[in-house]
């Protein structure tokens, strides 16, 4: 295993994670729906944007400190909510939250996490964010929100684009279900991942900590499958968002916005921020990339709501491009999972260091010293994605 200091790019982490993490869980993180076209375009569309390099500009003192919904952040990046994170590495959500807290950026815990809300609160000192999926069982949702309040979560991230589940071929082929099925092929693959297995043997957190023992009729993993199959709510509407906002009473972030009309509805809902996101290409295959959808949405809402962007970010340069096209902040999912799966907390820390360093140096090459002054003028082709 190389030292974290020898890791130079996210691809290094991806390859290490692929070697260390069991195939069914690695593929769960590193896959998209159907043809995976949208998943791939999330990354490749960033490459179409070209920087405008400037020289002989005083760039000695640079800062990429910013704020997201009024919270000071070391850089305009938050860790996105990711399901089954504790299956990429034992106690994965706890390790990710600790790394984010030490670095000075927000961490978001998923409803479908392995470690519970209470686990994260017990291992961190600063408030974190909680991501909510809307289930048919509104009583469970209300209790989940109250648990997030009790844990002193400072924002609720409401994911809107999982009313139905996009088909991911790799999950079907690997037998990844809720709970995962121990097929012969999976057991053989597990035998090749000794460090992962040792880590999982050393923790008691191997279930869905926010659900098992909390949802009605779900006392163990065997009863979880039928519950999850019927609980995601296709009837979710803006009226439900109004109810959730009232129940929560704090900062609300709406994730999964890909259309300017929906962005306007997000403004009308009174949310504090929206996240331009196609769920990492895991839901509607054939949808545009997040970065290509960003300019039109940012243009449609102006300064009425904070606009963030999630999907395909693999470097600090990607963060800078998103800021240039109108994002106030960004979120990272797979970059976080690759680094966590590869090296645990030390990997996540190194991931954040790399993103911050790339962001800082690229900003300097573009002749800027303050992240707040970044706009599309740093790009040679900033109008490549239509704003209409």
Residue 279 marked ligand-binding: yes
Listed in sequence order, the residues at least 6 apart from 289 whose beta carbon sits closer than 8 Å to its beta carbon are: 38, 41, 42, 44, 45, 278, 311, 312
Token pair belonging to 65: 């400190």
Long-range CB contact pairs, 214-222, < 8 A, 24+: 214/140, 214/143, 214/144, 214/147, 215/137, 215/140, 216/137, 216/139, 216/140, 221/179, 222/179
Q: Is 98 annotated as a binding residue?
A: no
312 is in an annotated binding site: yes
28 is in an annotated binding site: yes
311 is in an annotated binding site: yes
Closest CA to 296 of 270, 274, 268: 274
From the list 64, 89, 169, 279, the catalytic residue is 279
Q: Is 202 flagged in the annotation as binding?
A: no
- Report whether 282 belongs to an annotated binding site: yes
Q: Which residues partner with 66 through β-bridges?
A: 73
> Does the annotation list 255 as a binding residue?
yes
Q: Is 334 annotated as a binding residue?
A: yes
**Catalytic site residue 279?**
yes
Say if residue 83 carries a ligand binding annotation. yes
19 is in an annotated binding site: no
Cα separation, 17 vs 28, whole angstroms: 12
- CB burial of residue 302 (10 Å; 0-12, 13-18, 19+): exposed
Answer whether the bond into residue 179 is a cis peptide, omega within 30°.
yes
Q: Which residues are documented as binding site?
A: 28, 81-83, 110, 131, 133, 159, 168, 255, 277, 279, 282, 310-314, 333-334
- Residues recognised as catalytic: 279
Q: Which residues are documented as binding site for FMN?
A: 81-83, 110, 131, 159, 255, 277, 310-314, 333-334
Q: Which residues are documented as binding site for glyoxylate?
A: 28, 133, 168, 279, 282
């Amino acid at each position: 295993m190389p030292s974290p200091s020898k890791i130079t790019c996210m691809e290094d982490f991806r390859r290490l994670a692929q070697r260390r993490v069991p195939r069914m869980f690695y593929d769960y993180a590193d896959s998209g729906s159907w043809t995976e076209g949208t998943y791939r375009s999330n990354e490749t569309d960033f490459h179409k944007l070209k920087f405008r390099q400037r020289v002989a500009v005083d760039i000695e003192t640079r800062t990429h400190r910013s704020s997201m919904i009024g919270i000071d952040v070391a850089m305009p990046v938050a860790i996105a909510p990711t399901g089954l994170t504790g299956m990429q590495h034992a106690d994965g959500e706890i390790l990710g939250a600790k790394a984010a807290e030490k670095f000075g950026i927000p961490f978001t815990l998923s409803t479908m996490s392995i470690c519970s809300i209470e686990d994260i609160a017990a291992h961190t000192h600063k408030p974190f964010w909680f991501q909510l999926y809307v289930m048919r069982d509104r009583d469970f949702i209300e209790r989940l929100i109250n648990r997030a309040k009790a844990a002193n979560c400072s924002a609720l991230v409401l994911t809107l684009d999982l009313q139905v589940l996009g088909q991911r071929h790799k999950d079907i082929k690997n037998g990844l279900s809720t709970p995962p099925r121990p097929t012969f092929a999976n057991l053989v693959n597990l035998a090749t991942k000794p460090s992962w297995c040792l880590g999982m043997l050393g923790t008691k957190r191997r279930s869905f900590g926010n659900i098992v023992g909390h949802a009605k009729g779900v006392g163990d993993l065997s009863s979880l499958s039928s519950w999850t199959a019927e609980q995601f709510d296709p009837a979710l509407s803006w009226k439900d968002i109004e109810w959730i906002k009232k129940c929560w009473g704090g900062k609300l972030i709406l994730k999964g916005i890909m259309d300017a009309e929906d962005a306007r509805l997000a403004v009308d809902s009174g949310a504090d921020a929206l996240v331009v996101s196609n769920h990492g290409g895991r839901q509607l295959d054939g949808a545009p990339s997040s970065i290509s959808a960003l300019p039109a949405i940012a243009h449609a809402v102006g300064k009425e709501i904070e606009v963030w962007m999630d999907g395909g970010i693999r470097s600090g340069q990607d963060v800078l491009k998103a800021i240039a096209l109108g994002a106030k902040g960004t979120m990272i999912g797979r970059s976080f999972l690759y680094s966590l799966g590869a090296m645990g907390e030390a990997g996540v820390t190194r991931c954040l260091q790399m993103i911050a360093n790339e962001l800082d140096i690229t900003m300097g090459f573009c002749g800027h010293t303050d992240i707040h002054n970044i706009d599309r003028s740093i790009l040679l082709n900033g109008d490549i994605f239509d704003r209409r």
